[in-house]
Amino acid sequence: MPEGNKHLFVENTDGNYINDDFRHELALYIGGLLFTGCAHSGLENILAACPFPVNTVVGGFHLLDNHESEDKLSELAYRLTDAYPQTQFYTSHCTGDAVFATLHRVMGDKIHAFSCGTTIELRRSFLRMNKVRITAIRQTFYPDLMAKYENPIEHTCDVKEGQQWVSENGKCPEGMCPAAWYSMREFVESLARGEGNFYDGWMKNPMSAMISCNDGFRPFSFYIEVIE
């Protein structure tokens, strides 16, 4: 939680002033765009509570100058960069100038300051998110590695070659293997937002990716592609 919250109070039913826990505060999500308000609940907490892919964050972050240590701010910036690599952050109001400078040193062109009159251009996915088809292409087995490193197990994977799923709004489709989804989620969310061309020309179809699951003994390769 932001350190500046220590100075903000509410009156309880007994007429006493207590620290505000900000359970009353709201954030607004519209098609990939997250408005944080003043983010008294903490920017990371708000992002974690949002069940949808976030393409753009706009709002104050309630990170005040002379309240947050530079080390804590740098750690926050690295966490945001790692956890939300495709997200752009726009902040103003209750984000201090020195705080912004510290965040910007780590986040670079992923974070922007705005003020009255600033125009923010949003991607097409703000209005409509793509459907993404996921196809199980091929499974590979490494029996030598299994024999050397793996304990015997009775059941591994129910996925079949040729099996397909469709992700809507960047969400995990019903019946998808959770471990496989964990491996591909970031790519599916990016394609749903209208982003693509991963690694500067990796795929012949720029709105696609080939991702394998995280089973090192019998990985499945999945082809994911925008279909509409």
Domain boundary (109, 125, 141) is at 125
| Domain boundaries, position 95 | 3-125
Rounded to two decimals, what is the model's pTM?
Answer: 0.55
Residue 128: per-residue pLDDT: 67
Q: Is 217 exposed, middle or buried (0-12, 13-18, 19+ CB in 10 A)?
A: middle
Residue 125: per-residue pLDDT: 46
Q: 219 and 133, same structural domain? A: yes
For the chain, the domain total comes to: 2
Residue 123: per-residue pLDDT: 58
As a whole number of angstroms, the distance between CA 168 and CA 125 comes to 12
Contact call for residues 4 and 99 (beta carbons, < 8 A): no
Alpha helices for the chain (secondary structure H): 43-49, 70-83, 97-107, 143-149, 178-192
Q: 137 and 70, same structural domain? A: no
Closest by CA position to 2, among listed 64, 58, 47 = 64
Q: 98 and 164, same structural domain? A: no
Q: 119 and 9, same structural domain? A: yes
Copy the structure tokens of residue 21.
Answer: 């826990």
As a whole number of angstroms, the distance between CA 185 and CA 214 comes to 12
Domain boundary (75, 108, 125) is at 125
Q: Walk along the chain (228 residues) and give the pLDDT tens digit of each residue.
A: 777 777 888 888 889 988 888 888 889 988 789 999 889 888 999 999 887 778 899 999 999 999 989 999 999 999 999 999 989 999 998 999 999 999 999 999 999 999 888 888 775 444 568 899 999 999 999 999 999 999 988 888 889 999 999 999 889 999 999 999 999 999 999 898 777 888 888 999 999 999 999 999 999 999 999 997
As a whole number of angstroms, the distance between CA 123 and CA 113 comes to 18
